[in-house]
């Protein structure tokens, strides 16, 4: 069993893969103007998702949805 059996275009695709990995590594170190930390971005995304969810229903309504399956089984 030969692991390194490159035929036809395999060598070029493998070389392109290695070069691509190298440049992804180099691009990860580039800092853009106005770039913010990842924690801040995650906080903003979560707050944008949470805002419509709170106006969608009251806390009692959300609690009722969470408990609904158990209450149906207990009443039967």
Structure tokens belonging to residue 48: 């944008």
Q: How confident is the model at residue 76 (pLDDT cuts 50, 70, 90)?
A: very low
State residue 17's pLDDT score.
Answer: 95
Give residue 7's region: left, alpha or beta (phi > 0; psi -120 to 50): beta
6 has pLDDT over 50: yes
Helix H segments across the chain?
10-27, 38-56, 59-75
> 53 versus 30: which is more confidently predicted?
30
State residue 59's pLDDT score.
Answer: 58
Q: What percent of the chain has pLDDT over 90?
A: 17
Q: How confident is the model at residue 5 (pLDDT cuts 50, 70, 90)?
A: confident
């Amino acid at each position: 069993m030969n692991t390194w059996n490159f035929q036809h275009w395999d060598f070029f695709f493998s070389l392109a893969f290695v070069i691509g990995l190298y440049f992804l590594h180099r691009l990860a170190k580039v800092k853009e103007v106005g770039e913010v930390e990842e924690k801040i971005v995650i906080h903003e995304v979560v707050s944008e998702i949470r805002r419509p969810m709170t106006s969608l229903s009251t806390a009692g309504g959300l609690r009722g949805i969470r408990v609904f399956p158990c209450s149906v089984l207990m009443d039967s």
